[in-house]
Structure formats: structure tokens, C-alpha cells
Structure 1
Amino acid sequence: MKMLRMLVLLLVAMAMESRADVLDQLGSDVNKDGLNMDVLKYLDGLLESFSFDEKEDKETSDSVDRLKKLVRDALFLGLDNLEQQLESTRELSRDPDTKRNVTELITSKGYSCEDHIAQTQDGYLLSLQRVGPNSTHGQQFLNKTKPVVLLQHGLLDASTTWVINQADNSLGFMLADAGFDVWMSNSRGNTYSHANVNMNSRRRKFWDFSWDEMAKYDLPAVLDYVTEETNVSSIYYVGHSQGTLMAFTGFSQNHTLANKVKHIFALAPISHAGHLKGPVRLVVPFHGILYDFLNLAGIDEVLPSNIITEDIGRTLCGTIPLVCELLTFSFAGVDFFAFNKSRADVFFSHFPAGTSLRDINHWAQLIQSGDTQMYDFGWHDNQKHYGQHEAPIYNITGLDIPVSLFSGGRDWLADPRDVDKLRQDINHTIVYDNTLDRFDHMDFVWGTTAKDRVYKEIILQIRESEREQRDRHRGRNKRHPKNHES
């Protein structure tokens, strides 16, 4: 019996110790005195099953009784603490940002916002938001000397991703505070770019696009519009995930367009995806069958934002943010430390924002092939589209724009091995390369640590670039002074 008592005591100690270790590892700010609830419940049942002859083993019986009381007290305290946490998280569902559109997210924080529309060559109307300085700063919205920065979101996302956190931890707001002219674009088919001048979004032809068309048509339309509106010849480009894939493929193929970009800041950069991890990987081998089935079923749009999905995200993540945290980790990678649980309901009331079924299928092809290839229509249809039976491979080695890479060590979508392939392709143009060990895929736009580890660095590099340009301009003026007639 003494051995049994020692075993039970050891289990209790392990429950306490394991809970403390996990909390320390995660950097959590919750009460570290809490015990592992599952272990405690198991111990409670185990102790209840013990029976002793009090006359023969009074000491062991008393010890077990004391342990029962200890475990039940701990359970009570733990359940009470859990109830308090649930009660506090219910308040999260009342966050007004869950019901605001992107313009309202901006103006509710005191910033100026202009809504614009850029039309692509094939008729899609792309929504853009222009973020001005906070009204409390007393700055003018229009300033021709401001550096212009374009922010391009990733797959299934929207421009909201750049202003979805608090004002002091969202790249869109921080760039505006730094004095830059900030533009945020929306790819075709998402919540804010759901129209075409030639067809209704309910028509199947509307959804005949993937990131190929986003790189070929959306990028030129947006860059031409922004440079014309701001009267500048070139801008800074910040892309996340698919936003980097669009840049690498689009700018490497269209050098005239590339001349309008001073610098690319690539967050969670993707050109190859053959090493993608997570549950998504299990579906990839069957993507062709799934695509054909969904196509026959008349499904062209994937994970659109609507009242139902927004309400689910608002309610579920506001009540049980841990569920949404784990959902994020299932596709993005695991980083408990940086996930902002207090904004989980805001994140998932705006994400996902929808895309086409073909876009998702193109991603599956990218993962399966491991190559940066154009959309594969199949042996016969490729001949009609490309004049060859195989889908062409993008040659992104032709990219000739300075690139700053910000990649994540725990990123399941932009796996470090795939980022290494990207480095080999564009090594000649990379001017900054930072792998953030703890970062997962969404930390670059949602994470609490992106402010200090990514956004401030981007602002610093833009300022240094502007300073160097001014110095070069002054140097040219000194070498070639203007002639003045006497």
C-alpha cells in the first residue's frame, strides 16, 4: 500500500508540474497554480475506487482520504477558474469590430479612409482602401512627398487582415502613423471584390480564375491605379502568402510593371509549396477528384464570407477562443505565444473571405507538383491554353526588384524547405532575409509579436530607402547643376 500511496502522490505532483511547464512554455498569462484537469479527474476516479480495511491499514486509508480531499478541492478550484474564464471570454463576442467592414475598422480607430475601385483588363472590379493618418495627429491626408505602400493579402483573406488588430499592432495603421500613403488591395472574388462589369458573380464564368489571373491582371490594374492616383512612378509592395506568390510570378513576367515597384516585402513568402504540412496535405492527392465533383455540383466559390459564417466565427470564437486558436494552428502552424485570443472572434468574423474553386485547385497542384507552375488544365486543354501539353513553369529567376524576406520557422504553409528553394531562385535580388523561429503562417498579420519583429523593420527599411534616394538625387543635382541664364 505504501507503494500505491507513493504512486498516487507522484501522479499528483506530475499533474502540478506538467501544468506549470506547459504554461511556462507557452508564455501564458493565465493562473499557473491551476492543475491539469484531465489528470485530476482521472485521479479522482482512481482514488474513489480504492477500498481499505481501516483496522488493518488505518494509515493508508487516512492518506487516501486526504488525497481524495486534495484532488476534489483542486477540481473545484479548477472548475471554478474555468467557469470564470468562460464567463470572461463571452464578453469577447461583443467586440464591435466583429460587425464592422474594412472601412469601419479603419475609421473606428480614428484614421482616414478612402474607398477606391480599380478595373482589371478582364472586367473585374477590385476594391482598394486608402488609409490616412489618425485624425488626432492633425496631419493632412494628401501629401505628395509620402512614400506609397501597397498591401496585398493572402489566400482566402482580404484587406481587413492589415487592420484587424489594435491600432498599435496592425501594419496598415503603423504605416499610416509613420507618415506613409497606405493602400490595401482586394483580390478578385473575395468579400470586397465581388463584381465584374461583363458578368454577374452568379455566373460560372465569373469564377474561372486562380492566382494566375491575379498576377496577370489584378496586379497591373491595382499598381496602375495607385501610381496614377498618387502621381508617383513607383511604390513599395508588401505581400503576405499568396500576395507574395502573385508578386514573384507577376513581376518576373512583366518587367514594365516591375519598374513600378521599389521594393518587395515578402511575409510568409511562397513560390514552392511541396513541403506543406498539416491536415490539408491529406486532401491534396484527391484534389482532382474533389474538383471535378464540386464542379459537377455547381460549386464555384469556396468559403465565402456571409452572415452565417460571420456569425459562427463571432459566436464560437467569442465563447471558446481556444477552438479557433487550434483551428488556426491546424493549417498555419503552431505558435501559442503570439496568437491573440482576445481577437479570435474578430479574426474569424472576417476570415475566410472567399475565393474561387479553381484558385484552391491551383494551390493543390502547386503542393502536389512542388513547382511554381501555371494552372494545369489537363493534357488536352493545356494545348489550347498554352500551346503545349504540360502546364508551363514560371521562371521567377527573372525577378529584378529588391526583396526583403520574412519567413517563419513554424510555418506549415510556407515551409522553411520551400523558402530555401525560393532563396535559390531569387538569391541575386534578396537584400534582407529574416527567419523568425517561432512564427507560424498567420503570425505575420494576426500575431502579437509582428509589431516589433516585422512591422518596425519594414518601416525602418522604407525610411532608409527613401533617405538613400534623396541622397542620390542630391548627388546628381550637385554633379549636374542647373544652368542659369545671366
Structure 2
Amino acid sequence: MTIMKLVWAILLLFVFCGISSNAVPTDSVTINKALDGTLLKYLEGLADSIPKDEKNDETSDRIEQLREALKEIAFFGLEKHEKEMEKGRTLSRDEDSKRNVSELITSKGYSCEEHTAQTVDGYLLSIQRVGPNSTTKAKFEKSIFNKTKPVVLLQHGLLDASSTWVINQADNSLGFMLADAGFDVWMSNSRGNTYSHSNVNIKDNRRKFWEFSWDEMAKYDLPATIDYITGVTNASQIYYVGHSQGSLIAFTGFSSNTTLASKIKQIFALAPISHAGHVKGPIRLAVPFHGVIYDFLNLIGYEEVLPSTSITRAVGRTVCSIAPLFCELVTFTFAGIDFYAYNRTRSDVFYSHFPAGTSLQDVNHWAQMIHSGDTQMYDYGWHDNKKHYGQHTAPIYNISTLDIPVSLFSGGRDWLADPKDVEKLRADINHTIVYDNTLDRFDHLDFVWGTTAKDRVYKEIILQIRKSEATNDNV
């Protein structure tokens, strides 16, 4: 209960900041100190009040991590915490918080091509192609990759968008680093998010538009995107990088479609997910009631979850530039706790692009996975399952048939891709794993937002692709 007090306090303060931002002084430093001071007093008493769970080692370890983090802030003070974590940085609003994904790319000196792939069921999927920076273009004009330039597809996770791959500085974003390395970089967007909000047959204000989950992303979005990219580039195979849900649709989609799988040279799975039975945090509290919640929201016509709108983007920019620590703690309530790698000075940028929206059915599918612990297709209910699948229960994906080399990058502090669930994934696809690295201090979003991903993840991906290309050249 004490942990939940922290969660609700953070969320309430976050909302308070958004509501009152127009009524308080515009001096962000003054506001930040005042709000942080209020939170500090709360944290001082909260750390010691968290009870220990002697019977559950796992819970005890998580609580101890939280207690240590709270005591660190309360004891040393927010000022020292900021100095240590954000040396030399300011809390001013970043211009990237006002840019869309194309502008994020071009503002850093890279070229951006806009492409659209159409699925067989009519959804128009936006894809961005990132070209090299003007300062690196000449360097790779005579590259060994010039004739057979490696093609890399980046696929975002739940409630995210392609912007997640270029949301940090140019030297700390995977999309830019791959382009600088001489690769042909493509970033896709799943149906229903900010950049893939159209269907040639259905308007997005109709219920039928939102009748999809990650099942359809694996079955329809992946083939449409990959076939489009291979058609434009004439590449016989491409590399695939998926974060969170982006890895889930890869495991399920490629194991179900061998023709599509033959076009993938290697999968790089960041915060990999195939099972979700051990998800932690506040999200889990709603799981037992997911059916009732879904039916009620569906009944009142709430079909799109957490879309990106001008209001949400403005709130994200304002709140996170004024009180970035609040946004940092809100992130930890669902992603896992890691003060070390979170780039607080980019909070306003992160939350002006995230969340990017999805369907209520997609979120409900995740709740079903957490409840069952299985890699299952969407459960429509006893009678409707018979119509969709020819059986009364939702079928289980057999991802053990996957036959593509896989590199796993998982986090020791990830609450959504929990280490126990990742262990189940390893057992399912052990025969395909060529690289496996558990980064002990990484939470779920450190793989795309974190300051340490550059050295601990991105450089390794680039190295592996180069080795793979060198091996192919020698064959």
C-alpha cells in the first residue's frame, strides 16, 4: 500500500503541474525547486515506511531498490542529485519537444524520406528512411557497404512511435548511429499510432478502425512494411531491431510466416517480450479486472488509448520542462526504477512524443497476456473465439519454430519485460540465440531513452551487423 501511495502521489502531482501551469510564475527554476521541495519532504518519510517482505525474496529485493533510490534523493537532496546525474545540463525546454519525427531527423543534419506501406486490410503505415548526416556521407561514399548497403528496420514498442529511435541526441540515438555507420535505416510505425492513423476503407472515428491488437500488427503490418522496404531497396534480406512490443510481433509474426522470416537476416530484440506473466508495478493491479474495464470502455465508445494530441504534447512539454523529476518518477512507475541512465533533461522531449496511442483492444490483449502468462492470440471470448479460430479458446503461438538468429538485450530492472519472462523466452528460442546480454541496471525504456544504451547496446548492434556483413562478403 505504501508503494501505491508513492505512485498515486507522483501521478497526482503530475496532473497538478499540468493543470496549474498557466497559473504559476513562468520561472521554471523557481517552480521546479518548489515542487521538488514538496516531493522531497514526502520521500523522506516514505523510504523508511516501506515494509519488508521477509517471505518473498523477489518482492523484498524490489522494495529494497526503491527504498535505496528514495533515500538517495532524500539524504543527498535533489540539488546534488541533479548535479551528479545532469552535470553541465540545463532544464530549459528543448526545441525537439515541438518537432515531429521528420523534423527530429532533419534538424540534426540527416536526410529523411517519407514512405507509406499499405496493409492488405487497408491501413496506411508511415515509414521514415534516415539518410547519413552531411558530415558522414562522404566518409561512406566508398564504403564496402556501397553496393550491398545493409538495410535495418527499427520497430517501436507499445504506445510508441518511430520517433523513439531518434529522440535523443544524434550521438545517442540508434537511428542516427546506424545511419552514421553507413547502413540504410528504416523506421516503421504500427497501425493506430500518431503516424499511422489512416485506413483506405475506414475512417479513424469508426469503431471498426480500432478493432485490432498486436495480432494484426504481426500478421499484417510486418509483411506490408518488410515487403515494401525490400521492394524499394532490392535487398533480399534485412536486419530487424524491435523494442518491447516490436520484439513480440517479430517472435510471433516470423514464427508464423516462414516466407516473411526468410527475408530477415537477424533479429535484435531490446527489452524482449514473448510472455508477460511476471509484469510488475501499478499496471498489474488492473489486470484482474481487465475484462470489465474493457467492456465498459468499449460500451461508452472509448476505442483509442492515450493518443498523441496537441493538448497531451503541450502538457508533456510544459510539465516535464518545469519539473522533470516528476516525469522521471512517473516513468519508473511502469518501466522499472533506474535513476542512473534516465536523461532527465530530455523529459519534455520524451513526453511530447510519448505516448503515441494504440487501440483499446491492443491494451486489452496485453492484459490478457499478463493474466494468462501465455503467448496467446487475442481472446474474444468463448463464443467469438469459435468464429475467429474454430475453437473456444485463444490459440497459443508456437514461437519455438522461429529460425532466425536472435540477439537478446534484456534489463535486470525491467518491470515489463521481467527477467523471469525473458527466461521463458530463452527456453522457447534457445536454438536461435546467438547473443544474450542482461544489463543489470536497465529498465524498460533505457533501451531507447537511456544515456548508457549508446555504449552498452547500440555499438554492439552495429558491431554485430558489420561482422555479419564481413562474413557474407567472404563466403
Spell out, residue by residue over 1:145-166, the C-alpha distance to the aligned partner (whole angstroms, 9 max, x if none): 2100000000000000000000
Distance 2:207 2:341 in 1: 40
Spell out, residue by residue over 1:358-405, the C-alpha distance to the aligned partner (whole angstroms, 9 max, x if none): 000000000000000000000000000000000000000000000000
Q: Is the 8 A contact 2:93 2:348 kept in 1?
A: no
Spell out, residue by residue over 1:135-194, the C-alpha distance to the aligned partner (whole angstroms, 9 max, x if none): 123448995421000000000000000000000000000000000000000000000000
Distance 2:95 2:305 in 1: 26
Indicate the residue corresponding to 2:335 in structure 1: 332
* 1:366 counterpart SS class: helix
**Aligned length in residues:** 403
Unaligned runs of 5+ in 1: 1-33, 43-77, 473-486
CA RMSD of aligned residues (A): 2.6
Distance 2:88 2:300 in 1: 39
- Compared CA separation, residues 217 and 82, structure 1 to 2 (3 A): closer
Q: Is the 8 A contact 1:89 1:321 kept in 2?
A: no
Indicate the residue corresponding to 1:166 in structure 2: 169
Which residue, 415, 429, 432 being the options, matches 2:435? Answer: 432
Give matches, 1:376-415, under 5 Å: 376-415=379-418
Which residue, 317, 323, 326 being the options, matches 1:320? Answer: 323
Indicate the residue corresponding to 1:97 in structure 2: 96
Q: Is the 8 A contact 1:305 1:350 kept in 2?
A: yes
Indicate the residue corresponding to 2:113 in structure 1: 114
Which residue, 234, 246, 251 being the options, matches 1:231? Answer: 234
Distance 2:78 2:370 in 1: 44
Indicate the residue corresponding to 2:461 in structure 1: 458
One-letter amino acid matched to 2:206: R
Distance 2:83 2:440 in 1: 34
One-letter amino acid matched to 1:117: T
Which residue, 160, 182, 186 being the options, matches 2:185? Answer: 182
Q: Is the 8 A contact 1:325 1:341 kept in 2?
A: yes
Residue 284 (structure 2) pairs with residue 285 (structure 1) = no
Give matches, 1:42-57, under 5 Å: none
Indicate the residue corresponding to 1:4 in structure 2: none
Shift of 1:348: 0.3
- Compared CA separation, residues 318 and 381, structure 1 to 2 (3 A): same
Q: Is the 8 A contact 2:89 2:345 kept in 1?
A: no
Distance 2:191 2:350 in 1: 20
Indicate the residue corresponding to 1:136 in structure 2: 135
Spell out, residue by residue over 1:30-64, the C-alpha distance to the aligned partner (whole angstroms, 9 max, x if none): xxxx9x9649999xxxxxxxxxxxxxxxxxxxxxx
Distance 1:245 1:41 in 2: 40
Q: Is the 8 A contact 2:172 2:453 kept in 1?
A: yes
Spell out, residue by residue over 1:451-470, the C-alpha distance to the aligned partner (whole angstroms, 9 max, x if none): 00000000000000001111
Spell out, residue by residue over 1:231-259, the C-alpha distance to the aligned partner (whole angstroms, 9 max, x if none): 11000000000000000000000000000
Q: Is the 8 A contact 2:335 2:443 kept in 1?
A: yes
Q: Is the 8 A contact 1:89 1:319 kept in 2?
A: no
Structure 1's consecutive aligned runs of 4 or more residues displaced over 6 angstroms after TM superposition are 39-42, 78-85, 88-91
Residue 242 (structure 2) pairs with residue 243 (structure 1) = no
Distance 2:79 2:458 in 1: 40
TM-score with structure 2 setting the length: 0.81
Residue 276 (structure 2) pairs with residue 273 (structure 1) = yes
Distance 2:420 2:44 in 1: 42
- Compared CA separation, residues 335 and 84, structure 1 to 2 (3 A): closer
- Compared CA separation, residues 82 and 380, structure 1 to 2 (3 A): closer
Give matches, 1:15-164, under 5 Å: 38=41, 92-139=91-138, 143-164=146-167
Distance 1:80 1:123 in 2: 52
One-letter amino acid matched to 1:358: Q
One-letter amino acid matched to 2:420: R
Distance 1:302 1:447 in 2: 25
Shift of 1:436: 0.3
Distance 1:82 1:462 in 2: 38
Give matches, 1:324-363, under 5 Å: 324-363=327-366
Spell out, residue by residue over 1:326-379, the C-alpha distance to the aligned partner (whole angstroms, 9 max, x if none): 011000000000000010000000000000000000000000000000000000
- Compared CA separation, residues 82 and 414, structure 1 to 2 (3 A): closer
Which residue, 426, 446, 449 being the options, matches 2:449? Answer: 446
Distance 1:231 1:237 in 2: 16
Indicate the residue corresponding to 1:48 in structure 2: none
Distance 2:402 2:44 in 1: 59
Indicate the residue corresponding to 2:3 in structure 1: none
Q: Is the 8 A contact 1:93 1:315 kept in 2?
A: no
Distance 2:90 2:190 in 1: 33
Shift of 1:439: 0.3
* 1:94 counterpart SS class: coil
Distance 1:458 1:83 in 2: 31
Spell out, residue by residue over 1:188-225, the C-alpha distance to the aligned partner (whole angstroms, 9 max, x if none): 00000000000110111000000000000000000000
Distance 1:364 1:416 in 2: 18
* 1:133 counterpart SS class: coil
Distance 1:434 1:426 in 2: 15
Give matches, 1:3-18, under 5 Å: none
- Compared CA separation, residues 116 and 321, structure 1 to 2 (3 A): same
Shift of 1:127: 0.2
Q: Is the 8 A contact 1:376 1:391 kept in 2?
A: yes
One-letter amino acid matched to 2:96: D
Question: Identity, % of aligned pairs?
Answer: 76
Distance 1:162 1:228 in 2: 23
Task: State the structure with bigger RCO (CA 8 A, min sep 6), 1 or 2.
Answer: 2
One-letter amino acid matched to 2:199: N
* 2:423 counterpart SS class: helix
Spell out, residue by residue over 1:267-297, the C-alpha distance to the aligned partner (whole angstroms, 9 max, x if none): 0000000000000000000000000000011
Unaligned runs of 5+ in 2: 1-36, 46-76
Distance 2:349 2:268 in 1: 25
Structure with greater Cα Rg = 1
- Compared CA separation, residues 277 and 123, structure 1 to 2 (3 A): same
TM-score with structure 1 setting the length: 0.79
